[in-house]
C-alpha cells in the first residue's frame, strides 16, 4: 500500500490534488473502484459505451434511403394481396382461377353477352373437332348478335368450306379491327386473306385470270384491307420471324413479285429444315408454322403434291391430342378436308427422296457442291436447303413470269430490248 501511495504522489502533485482530496474523490465514485469484483462487472459496460459514442458514424444518403424503403415495404405488406384485394377501394379482383373467373363473369353478364361467349366457345371446339358446318352455325350466331365481333377463326371455317369471298371478308374486317385496337400487325388475318385471293385466282380459267391480272385496280371481288400510314414499317414490327416471312410470301404472291416470292419461300424452307421422320421438339413452333404455311401456299397455288409434303411434315411437328394453339390443329384439318389420308404407301418414300431434301439428307458431295455457290467472282457458304429451294422455284417460272420479274427490277426482259429494237 505504501508503494502505491509512493507512486501516486508525483501524479497528485502534478494535478495539484492532495491525498485527502484523492480519498474523497475515490469514495464519491465507488463503482469505479478497482476491486476484482467491480472491475469485471462495470468496466465492459463503460468501455462499450465509450466505444459506441466514439465510433458512431453518420449514415450515407444511400443507406438512409435503403432503410426508409425497407420500412415502407414492411408498411405496405398488408395493403395488396394478388387475387384478393383491388386497387379500387371496396372492390376485389377475381381469383387467379380461369374457370372460376369465367363463371363469375358469366353470372354478371347480360343474356346477349353470355350467348356470344358460349357460342364462340362452342364454335372453336367444333372447329378443332373438324365439324365445320356446325362450327359455322355457332359463328354465324355470334356475328348475328355482334356484327363487329373479333372472330377470325370463322374465316378458316369458310375457307375450308369453299366460301373464299366470305372468308376473305372476315379476315379483312378482323385484320382492321385487330390493328386499330391493339396497334400490332394482324399477320395471320392478312396471310389467310391473301390465301383466299391466291386460291380464287388459281381456280379461274386462263382467260379469266388474264383479265383479272390485267386490271391493276381489280380486287376480284374480295374485301381489301385498308392501307395504313407507314404500312411497311408497321408490318415489319411483327416479332415472330416465321409468321413475318410467311406474310411476306403471301403478299409477294398477290403482288406478282416473283423475286420476293422465291426468296420468302426459300427462307421458310430453311427454317423448316429437312424432311425428317422423327423431327425434334419444336418449342417455338417456327418449323411447324413454316411447314404448314408453305403447304397452305402451295395448296392455294394448286401445287398439290408439294402441299402434301409440307403438310405431312407439319403434322409430324404437331403435338398429339390437339394443343391449345390453333396451329396444332390446322395441319390435320387441312389434310382431312383435302382427303389426303388415303394416299398409297409410296408417298412416304417419295417424301424423303424429294429433290428439295437433297441438301440435308443427300451425300456429302451434294452438300459441298451446294455450299460453294458462286456469287459474282467469289464464293459464299449458303444453306443448301435455301439454295435448292431457290433453284427449284426458278426452274418452275414461266417465261412471262420471268419477264415480269425482270421488268419489276428495271432489267431488260428480252433480246429485242437489248438490241434496241423495241421502244
User: 326 or 352: whose pLDDT is higher?
Assistant: 326
Q: Is the dihedral of CA 113, 169, 188, 186 positive or negative?
A: negative
pTM of the model: 0.66
In a domain, 27, yes or no: no
What's the gap between Cα 403 and its chain centre? 38
Contacts 24+ apart (CB under 8 A), 130-135: 130/332, 130/333, 130/336, 130/337, 132/157, 132/160, 132/161, 132/337, 133/161
Choose the weakest-confidence range: 2-16, 85-99, 148-162, 316-330.
Answer: 2-16
pLDDT digits (tens, 9 = 90+) for 35-81: 444 444 445 454 445 545 555 677 788 888 888 888 887 877 666 66
Mean pLDDT for the chain overall: 76
Range of 188's domain? Answer: 100-214
Q: Give the pLDDT score at 192.
A: 98
In a domain, 171, yes or no: yes
Q: Give the pLDDT score at 391.
A: 66
Confidence of residue 409 (pLDDT cuts 50, 70, 90): low
In a domain, 314, yes or no: no
In a domain, 320, yes or no: no
In a domain, 74, yes or no: no
Stretch 312-328: mean pLDDT, rounded?
82
- Highest mean pLDDT, choosing among 79-83, 105-109, 294-298, 321-325: 294-298
User: 144 or 317: whose pLDDT is higher?
Assistant: 144
Burial of 13 (0-12, 13-18, 19+ CB in 10 A): exposed
| Count of structural domains within the chain | 1
Stretch 407-416: mean pLDDT, rounded?
58
User: 89 or 257: whose pLDDT is higher?
Assistant: 257
Q: Give the pLDDT score at 110.
A: 94
pLDDT higher than 80, residue 272: yes
In a domain, 387, yes or no: no
Q: Give the pLDDT score at 170.
A: 97
Cell of 101: 373467373
The enclosing domain of 180 has a CATH number of 1.25.40.10
pLDDT higher than 80, residue 314: yes
In a domain, 47, yes or no: no
Cell of 169: 371478308
In a domain, 276, yes or no: no
Amino acid at each position: 500500500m505504501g508503494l502505491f501511495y509512493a507512486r501516486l504522489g508525483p501524479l497528485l502533485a502534478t494535478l495539484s490534488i492532495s491525498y485527502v482530496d484523492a480519498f474523497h474523490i475515490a469514495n464519491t465514485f465507488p463503482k469505479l473502484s478497482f476491486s476484482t469484483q467491480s472491475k469485471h462487472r462495470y468496466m465492459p459496460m463503460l468501455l462499450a459505451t465509450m466505444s459506441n459514442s466514439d465510433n458512431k458514424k453518420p449514415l450515407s444518403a444511400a443507406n438512409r434511403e435503403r432503410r426508409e424503403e425497407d420500412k415502407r415495404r414492411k408498411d405496405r405488406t398488408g395493403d395488396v394481396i394478388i387475387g384478393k384485394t383491388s386497387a379500387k377501394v371496396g372492390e376485389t379482383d377475381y381469383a387467379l382461377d380461369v374457370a372460376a373467373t369465367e363463371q363469375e363473369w358469366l353470372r354478371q353478364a347480360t343474356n346477349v353477352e353470355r350467348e356470344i361467349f358460349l357460342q364462340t366457345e362452342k364454335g372453336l371446339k367444333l372447329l378443332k373437332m373438324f365439324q365445320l358446318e356446325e362450327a359455322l352455325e355457332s359463328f354465324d350466331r355470334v356475328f348475328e348478335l355482334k356484327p363487329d365481333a373479333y372472330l377470325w377463326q370463322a374465316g378458316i371455317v369458310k375457307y375450308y368450306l369453299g366460301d373464299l369471298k366470305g372468308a376473305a371478308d372476315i379476315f379483312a374486317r378482323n385484320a382492321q379491327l385487330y390493328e386499330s385496337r391493339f396497334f400490332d400487325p394482324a399477320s395471320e388475318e392478312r396471310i389467310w386473306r391473301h390465301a383466299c385471293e391466291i386460291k380464287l385466282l388459281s381456280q379461274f380459267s386462263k382467260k379469266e385470270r388474264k383479265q383479272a391480272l390485267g386490271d391493276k385496280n381489280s380486287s376480284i371481288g374480295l374485301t381489301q384491307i385498308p392501307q395504313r400510314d407507314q404500312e411497311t414499317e408497321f408490318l415489319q414490327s411483327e416479332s415472330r420471324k416465321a409468321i413475318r416471312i410467311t406474310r411476306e410470301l403471301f403478299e409477294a404472291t398477290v403482288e406478282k413479285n416473283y423475286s420476293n416470292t422465291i426468296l420468302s419461300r426459300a427462307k421458310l424452307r430453311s427454317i423448316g429444315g429437312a424432311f425428317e421422320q422423327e423431327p425434334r421438339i419444336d418449342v417455338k413452333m417456327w418449323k411447324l408454322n413454316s411447314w404448314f404455311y408453305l403447304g397452305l401456299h402451295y395448296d392455294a397455288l394448286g401445287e398439290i403434291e408439294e402441299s402434301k409434303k409440307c403438310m405431312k411434315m407439319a403434322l409430324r411437328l404437331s403435338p398429339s391430342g390437339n394443343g391449345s394453339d390453333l396451329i396444332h390443329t390446322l395441319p390435320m384439318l387441312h389434310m382431312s378436308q383435302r382427303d389426303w389420308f388415303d394416299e398409297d404407301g409410296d408417298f412416304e418414300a417419295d417424301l424423303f427422296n424429294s429433290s428439295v431434301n437433297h441438301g440435308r439428307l443427300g451425300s456429302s458431295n451434294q452438300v459441298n457442291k451446294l455450299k460453294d455457290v458462286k456469287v459474282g467472282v467469289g464464293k459464299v457458304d449458303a444453306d443448301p436447303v435455301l439454295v435448292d429451294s431457290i433453284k427449284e422455284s426458278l426452274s418452275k417460272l414461266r417465261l412471262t413470269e420471268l419477264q415480269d420479274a425482270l421488268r419489276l427490277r428495271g432489267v431488260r426482259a428480252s433480246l429485242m430490248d437489248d438490241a434496241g429494237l423495241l421502244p
